[in-house]
Structures are given as structure tokens and as C-alpha cells.
Structure 1
Amino acid sequence: MATSAEKLGTHRCQLGEGPFYDRRTDTAWWFDIVGHKLLEHRFGGGDTIAHELPVMGSVIAPVDENRQLLAMEDGLYLREIATGSLKRIKALEDDKPGNRSNDGRLHPSGRLWLGTMGKNAEWQAGTIYLFDGTEITPLFRKVTIPNSICFSPDGRTGYFADTAPNIVWRVALDPQTAVPIGEPEVFLTEAQLPLGGHYDGSVMDADGVLWNAAWGGGSVTGFAPDRSIVRTVEIPAAQTSCPCFVGPGLDRMLVTSAWDGYSESERNADPGAGFTYMIDGSFNGTDTVAAIIDESILNGN
């Protein structure tokens, strides 16, 4: 089936990332990390709203119909959807002010994996953490640019990348706790990217296909569990950053992109960079569960 990507709205992000789709309200959310914005697109009305953030944010997950969980550069926050008010409930690397949050995703159990990195992508400055609803625990240290965090539908396998060495790993998990129970193994290497670039954000479908946005490769590619390529869709923006499934049938895909790091001439040469794109049809997407949060931590910091 031939597929192509169409631009969604007119907002252009410096560093688009972290898309999430709320099926209940038919609304997509994503970030402009460097621009300190949370974007909200209501498919029913066609509007895109930019919400200003006090610091950089990169991950959003549902809690209930009134609240969202946000991973931001200095911690985890609860956001009230109606008012946009933010409350920090857990600190994150307060001893590392040069770091920020990056990629993350909810495990089918409702527990959150999230990664940190240096604001200037300092070598091995980041860590991938698990938030189990109460505590934040380090899982993998010495990560430069954490990305591609996603999980098999049964929760028994986790995936993550370090974009700097351009490798995606997979690791066996306890499906009840999202805790690794083995050592990571290499799943994908640079040689397997069909259009080049680096592994950035990923999402996994109901068949266990890992759909990856290739930073610098201007594309999204689906990799089956046996590492074979299912399909590649080109995006009219070289720095594609992260996909998510959208639509009532979860058969469409939203893909963010960025112009971050470009010179003026490079930005002019890539006029689609920073926009958000839609790919229609034929995906077998999975819905997002709610994040687990122990109400006892809500007065913490």
C-alpha cells in the first residue's frame, strides 16, 4: 500500500518530540522541547494550541480524565488539563542541572521509563529510569541520547536506543513491574537503517513491529521482531524525531520533526523541518494505558 505524509497544522517546532494520543478525546499532544511548549491538537476542531512551559518538557502520559504526567528537565509533574497548572511531584537529577529529560514511554503495566541527557548531548551524561508510581530508579546509566523507548504488547520486552552510537537494544522484562530481568542485547544497528540517519523515537504496534523515526534519515521504518523491514515511509523533513499512533482505529501515525541544530542555510534547505506530519492508514496501533501514581507522593517534590 502506497503511503505518504501530510503536514498537520502550521506550528513549527525547533525540537518536536514526545507525541501522545488521547483516544478518549481524539487529541494529540507533543512537545517543542527547546521552545518550552506543549502542543495540543484537537482533531475534531482542527486547532493546534501551544501551551507555554516553565522548563523543557519531553514526555506526556495520561493519569485520568483530569490529569497528565509530564517528564520535564527537573522532575515529574502533574498537569491539570483544564487549567494547565503544573505541580512537581518527583525531583529528577537535581544534582545535574546540565541535564534534561528526553525520550520516554509508558509500559503496559502503567509504569514509566524515561531517559535523561546532557543539554548539549554530553557523552554518556544521561540515564534511563523507571518510575513505578512512587520512586524513580535508574535502569541504564552512561547513555548519551536516550531514545526509542517502547515495549512489546505483552510487556515482556523493552526496547531503547542510544542515538549517539546509533544502536537499539532490547531486554527481557518482568511484565508486571517493567523491571529488566536480563541483560540488553543489540537489536538494530546503523547498517539496518534503510535511508541512513540515526535511531530516534519509536513506538511499537500490536504485532510487535517497532516503528522508528530516523533523525537525519527523513523517514519512519517498521522493524519486525526478526529485524526485517516491514515498510519505510519518507517524511518531508530530514530530522524526524518520534512517532505515535492516532485516530479512533489507531491506524494512522503522527510524526514529529525538528530544525534544531541547523544553520540558517540548512533550515532554508529543509523547509519541512519542525512541522508535524500525519501518515494515513494500515497501521495496527496500540492504545496507551494510564500512568500509575501513588497518591501518597503528591505532596512531595
Structure 2
Amino acid sequence: MTTLFQPTCVWDLKATLGEGPIWSAKDHALWFVDIKKQHIHRYDVNIGSKQTWHAPSPCGFIAPKKRGGFIVGCKTGLYDFDPKTGDFTFLTHVEPGLPNNRLNDGYVDHQGRLWFGSMDDDENSPTGKLYRYDARGLKVMDDDYVITNGPAVSPDGKTLYHNDTLKKHIYAFDLDADGHLSNKRLFAQLDAQGHTPPHGEGYMDGPVVDSAGNVWNALFFGWGVNCYAPDGRLIRTVRLPVSNVTKIAFGGHDLKTVYATTAAKGLSADDIKQQPLAGGLFRFEVDIPGQAQNEITHV
């Protein structure tokens, strides 16, 4: 019998800032990035093979396209990425006037639109924005973030969640069929105090929504993942043996296998001794499946 909610490390790659896992049912693989090392990683869950590509600049996310290949969000802009050749083709600048910003987390919604955030690479200034990218082009949808994370969308496609990491907030927005946002409100937050000194409960990192509408949120400096019911109640916490958990993805044939990226960034030499698997890719089983990975349709 499979033991639920018990994490194991499946790839001890010691990522500096592992992030953005996505599940590809086409090739039974987990794709993710290491932002600081400019790496794109692929883990084949059937045979355990591992591949790595080097991106043009620090890369915050990878998102699949309906036509094949991926879009990768880099500090220098959006790129088309063909893993068969390893080629990156430049698509568009995002913030050429903000050279200290970089792109962070990304998501493809049910209509095939790409959403992603930007942030101050020094994590000090509120220059980060939330973007939508579709056939109409690139559009700013929200702003005033130091560190953005997410977004993610509910199963009915009507609620978009997006995180302000330093404020420790998850926001919810109403999302209409045309991709417009309204009614921004606080969905969940972390208290300043907590059980894991000196950082309290950690910081809101990447969110993902399962098929029941529960919001799973990774905790940077928080040693795990919180799961919130659609009404914002905390209903579960899964603990990991490393402090910096960045995001999860639901995978496997039934979308009940969770993969979690983690990071060694911000840890001291003594921290690393206590957390030798920091930066590894982890896996655990859950009882409620996730949502299938959406694909970008306009490029």
C-alpha cells in the first residue's frame, strides 16, 4: 500500500533555486528549472533518466506549447525552447527598462494563456508585476510586488491565485473568460511568528490548485507545503526534510504523485550540513488528484 504524504528525494541535484515544476503526460516526465544556475531539467519518471539544458539567462519558468516545445521565461525575455535541438529562439522582451528585474513563476490557464510574474532580483524594490501573454500580446495585470509567485487557477477557471511572497499573502482574483481580473482579495496569509525560527512559518512561494479546488502552497524557509481549502482554511501541511520548498506539480498516470522543487539559496554551510538534500527534487503521494497541465495555444 502506498503511504500518503511521505516525501522522498528522487533527484539529489542540489539546485541553487529549483523552481517551476510541470508534469508532461506526453513523455511521462517532470520538467523544472534552476533559476540561478540557468538550467532546465527533465526527469523521466519511468526510467529515471535525467537531462539538463543551459538557458540564455536566469530562467524563472518553463511552460509547454500545444504545438510542441516550450516557452521559457528568462531574465532577458521570453524564449521558444526546442528540447530536441536544444535551441532557444528569442520571442519578446518583457521589461527592458528594468535591468535588475527578472521573471519568476509562470502558469498556463485553461484557455491556453500564459501568466507569469516579474520581480526585483535583489528582492528589495516593489518593481514586480503580474503579466498575461496571449494572442493579444503582453499585458500587465497587477503590480507592486517585490517577489511574485504563481499564479494558479481554480478548476472552474473563475478564480486566479497569485502570491506576494514577502508579504506572506495569497491573493485571489475573479477571472473572466476573456482573461480579465477583478475583485482582488486576501485568500490566505502566514503569521510572522511560527514554529521554525528564525523565519516563522516561512514565506509563500509557488501555489498550485488541485482538482477539488484546494490551493497547495510551497513554503520557502517553512519546511513544507500548506494545503488550503477553497474557502481559505488551512487543511493540511506536508513536511519535507529541507527548509526551502519552492513549488509542487501533480503528476503520474492519475495525477496523485506530487513533485516538489527545493532550493539551497539562502542557506549557510551549517544549514547545508543539517539539510544535505537541500535543492533536491522530492516526491510524495496524495489522495486527491491535481489538474492536468495546460498548454499554450497562441504560439
Distance of 1:190 and 1:217 partners within structure 2? 10
CA contact (8 A) 1:36 1:52 kept: yes
The CA deviation string for residues 67-89 of structure 1, in whole angstroms up to 9 with x for no partner, is 11111112111111211211111
Q: CA deviation at 1:292?
A: 2.3
In 2: Cα distance, 1:218 partner to 1:237 partner: 6
What is the root-mean-square deviation of aligned Cα atoms in Å? 1.7
Match of 1:115 in 2: 117
2:273 counterpart SS class: helix
* Equivalent residue number for residue 43 of structure 1: 45
2:178 partner amino acid: T
Residues of 1 paired with 2:241 and 2:178: CA distance?
Answer: 39
- Provide the residue aligned with 2:184 in structure 1: 184
TM-superposed CA distance for 1:116, in Å, is 0.5
- The alignment status of 1:206 with 2:211, answered yes or no, reads yes
Report the TM-score when normalising by structure 2.
0.93
Structure 1 residues not aligned, in runs of 5+: 295-301
The reply on whether 1:236 has 2:241 as its aligned counterpart is: yes
User: Given that residues 111 and 177 in structure 1 are in contact (C-alpha distance below 8 angstroms), is that contact kept between their aligned partners in structure 2?
Assistant: no
Residues 50/103 of structure 1: CA separation in 2 closer, same or farther (3 Å cut): same
Aligned to 1:287: 292
Amino acid at match of 2:208: V
Confirm or deny: 8 A CA contact 1:209 1:224 kept in the other structure: yes
State the match for 1:253 in structure 2.
258
- Check 1:122–1:194 CA distance in 2 against 1; reply closer, same or farther (3 A cut): closer
Q: Secondary structure at the match of 2:211?
A: coil
> Aligned partners of 1:216, 1:159: CA distance in 2, in Å?
21
Counterpart in the other structure of 2:279: 274
Match of 1:57 in 2: 59
Please name the residue that 1:140 is paired with. 142
Letter in 1 for 2:245: T
The one-letter code sitting in structure 2 at the alignment partner of 1:206 is S
Q: Which runs of 4+ in 1 moved over 4 A?
A: 192-195
8 Å contact kept, 2:12–2:279: no
Q: Distance in 1 between matches of 2:278 and 2:16?
A: 8
Structure 1 residues 260-300: Cα deviation after superposition (integer angstroms, max 9, x where no partner): 12222222232221111001241311101210225xxxxxx
Partner AA of 1:110 in structure 2: G
Superposition deviation, residue 183 in structure 1: 2.7
**TM-score, normalization by structure 1:** 0.93
Is the contact made by 1:148 and 1:168 (CA closer than 8 Å) also made in structure 2? no
Count of aligned pairs: 292
Which amino acid counterpart does residue 187 of structure 1 have in structure 2?
A: F
**What letter corresponds to residue 77 of structure 1 in structure 2?**
Y
Letter of the structure 2 residue corresponding to residue 8 of structure 1: V
Identity of aligned residues (%): 26
- 1:116-171 deviations in whole A, cap 9, x for unaligned? 01111122021111111341110111111101310011111100111111111101
